[in-house]
């Protein structure tokens, strides 16, 4: 799949001649494309004289960055301490089984990406699952069923 790099070019222009820009720059790129496409890495490297290895160093160090396109919905399952104690691992396994993917992967139909995260700052409602921007607290197996179905049908509507 070819991507349109003109957006990336515009973003890069904004960051020219400033120091310490790599992370915010990559954040902006990801906000447009949903991930950091390979083509943009080459572009940043050429335009701002940063070695690709340094760019990949940053993208792979920070969990926020993705090098592959993500699913339509991102499911984040908290594996923080409070959620762990309240059964967060079971929730992750349950979702993973139901979608047939492991964390860090995307379903074949491109519908869901699954991520594990350490504490979403909602520990009072452990175990916590976040789908896109929506928080769901006190999760259990039944709730997961309901949630997944809801987001599946959302897709069908649109």
Partner 1 sequence: MKKLSNPKELEKLRKTIQNRRDPNKPVVTICGGTGCQASGCEHIIETFKKEIIKQSLQEKIDVRITGCHGFCEKGPLVVIYPSKIFYPMVKSKDVSRIISETVVNNKVIEELLYVDPSSGERITYEDDIPFYKKQTRTIFGSNGKIDPKNIEDYIAISGYSALEKVLPSMKPQDVIDEVKKSGLRGRGGGGFRTGQKWESCSKAKGKQKYIICNADEGDPGAYMDRSILEGNSHSVIEGMILGAFAIDSNHGYIYVRAEYPLAVKHFSIALNQARKLGLLGKNILNSGFDFDIKIYQGGGAFVCGESSALIQSIEGNVGEPRAKHIHATERGLWDCPTVINNVETWANIPLIINKGAKWYASIGTEKSKGTKIFSLVGKINNTGLVEVPMGMTIKEIVFDIGGGIPNDKEFKAIQTGGPSGGCIPRSLMDMPIDFDELKRAGSMMGSGGMIVMDEDTCMVDVARYFMEFNLDESCGKCSSCREGNARMLEILEDICVGKGNENSIPLLEELSEYIKETSLCGLGKTAPNPVLTTLKYFKDEYLSHIQKKECPAKVCKPLIFYEINSEDCTGCGMCAKKCPVNAITGEKKKPHTIDKDICTKCGTCIATCKFNAIQVKTGEKK
Which residues are near ligand FES by CB under 6 A? Answer: 78, 80-83, 119-123, 126, 128
Q: In 3D, which of 154, 124, 150, 118 has the Cα closest to residue 137? A: 124
- Work out what residue 20 binds among partner 1, ligand FES, none; the CB cut-off runs from 5 to 8 Å by kind: partner 1
CA count, 13 A, side-chain hemisphere, 64: 10
- Minimum distance from residue 124 beta carbon to ligand FES (Å): 8
Candidates 6-14, 32-40, 66-74, 88-96; binding stretch for partner 1 (CB under 8 A) = 88-96
> In which residue are the tokens 């447009």 written?
32
Query: Considering CB under 8 A, how many residues would be counted as binding partner 1?
Result: 45
* Chain centroid, CA 134 distance in Å: 14
- Work out what residue 8 binds among ligand FES, partner 1, none; the CB cut-off runs from 5 to 8 Å by kind: none
One character per residue 11-50, x = contact with partner 1 (rule: CB under 8 A): --------xxxxxx--x-----------------------
- Minimum distance from residue 104 beta carbon to ligand FES (Å): 18
- Among residues 9, 62, 110, 132, the one that binds partner 1 under rule CB under 8 A: 62
Cis amide bond preceding 109, omega within 30: no
Pairing of strands 112-117, 73-78: parallel
39, 70, 74, 109, 157 from 115: Cα distances, Å = 25, 11, 7, 17, 25
- Work out what residue 137 binds among partner 1, ligand FES, none; the CB cut-off runs from 5 to 8 Å by kind: partner 1
């Amino acid at each position: 799949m070819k991507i349109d790099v003109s957006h990336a070019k515009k973003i890069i222009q904004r960051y020219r001649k400033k120091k310490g820009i790599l992370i915010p720059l990559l954040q902006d790129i990801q906000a447009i494309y949903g991930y950091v496409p390979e083509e943009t890495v080459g572009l940043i490297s050429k335009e701002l004289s940063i070695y690709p290895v340094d760019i990949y160093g940053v993208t792979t160090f920070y969990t926020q960055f993705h090098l592959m396109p993500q699913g339509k919905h991102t499911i984040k399952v908290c594996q923080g301490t409070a959620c762990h104690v309240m059964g967060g691992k079971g929730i992750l396994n349950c979702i993973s089984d139901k979608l047939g993917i492991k964390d860090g992967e995307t379903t074949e139909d491109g519908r869901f990406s699954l991520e594990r995260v350490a504490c979403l700052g909602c520990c009072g409602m452990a175990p916590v699952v976040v789908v896109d921007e929506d928080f769901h607290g006190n999760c259990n197996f039944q709730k997961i069923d309901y949630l997944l179905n809801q987001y599946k049908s959302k897709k069908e509507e649109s």
